[in-house]
Copies of this chain bind each other. A is one copy, B any other.
Amino acid sequence: MSKADKSEVFTNVILEIFKLGGLLISEGDQLSKEYGTTSARWKVLGAIALADSPQTVSQIAKTMGLSRQAVQRLVDVISKEGLLEFRANPVHKKARLISLSDSGMDIYAKLDKKQVRWAKDNSLNFSKKDLQTTLSVLKDVSRQFEP
C-alpha cells in the first residue's frame, strides 16, 4: 500500500524531470543567446572548462552522459567559432586533446558569471536542506540507470 504510493511519487518525479528539463534548456538558450551560443554548446564548454586537463571528444561525452557523436558535432561547431584549441594526444593518434581557446575561456567566464547570478536569483525560495535532498535523490536515481 505504502510502497505503491511511493512508486507513484517516483513516477511523478520522473514526469516532472521531463517537463523541467525542457524549461531549463529554454532558460539556458536565453542566457547564452547574447554570446551567440546555445545551451547544448554551453554544456560542452562547461565540461571542457571544468576538466582537470584537456580531454578527447570521447572523454567529454562520457562526462556529459551523451553519445560521442553528439559531442563531436557540438565540438565541431564550437570550434568553427574559434572557441576551442586542439593538440596532439600522445596516447592516441586520432583522438586530439581539446581545451578552450582564449576567447573560449572568455565566453565561458561570462556565461558562468551570468549563470551564478541566475542561480542565486532562482534558488531564493528553496531551503538548502531541500535542495540537498533533491540533489542526493537525483544522483542516486542517475546512478541506477548509468551504463
Contact = CB atoms under 8 A, between A and B. Distances in A.
Interface of A: 2-14, 16-27, 43, 64-66, 115-116, 119-120, 122-123, 125-126, 128, 130-142, 144-146
B10 A146 contact: no
Contacts of A14: 24, 119
In the A-B complex, list the 4 residue pairs whose CB atoms are closest, starting with the nearest. A10-B123, A21-B21, A7-B119, A23-B145
B18 A131 contact: no
Contacts of A130: 133, 136-137
Contacts of A21: 17-18, 21
Specify the main secondary structure of chain A where it touches its partner. helix
Contact of A7 (B6, B12, B18, B120): B120
A135 B13 contact: yes
A21 to B, nearest CB: 4
B20 A24 contact: no
B128 A23 contact: no
B131 A137 contact: yes
B122 A20 contact: no
Contacts of A12: 135
Contact of A140 (B5, B126, B133, B137): B126
A65 B21 CA distance: 10
29 contacts: A3-B120, A6-B123, A7-B116, A7-B120, A9-B123, A9-B132, A10-B123, A10-B126, A10-B131, A11-B115, A12-B135, A13-B134, A16-B135, A16-B142, A17-B20, A18-B21, A18-B24, A20-B138, A20-B141, A21-B21, A24-B145, A26-B145, A27-B145, A125-B144, A126-B137, A130-B133, A133-B134, A134-B134, A134-B138
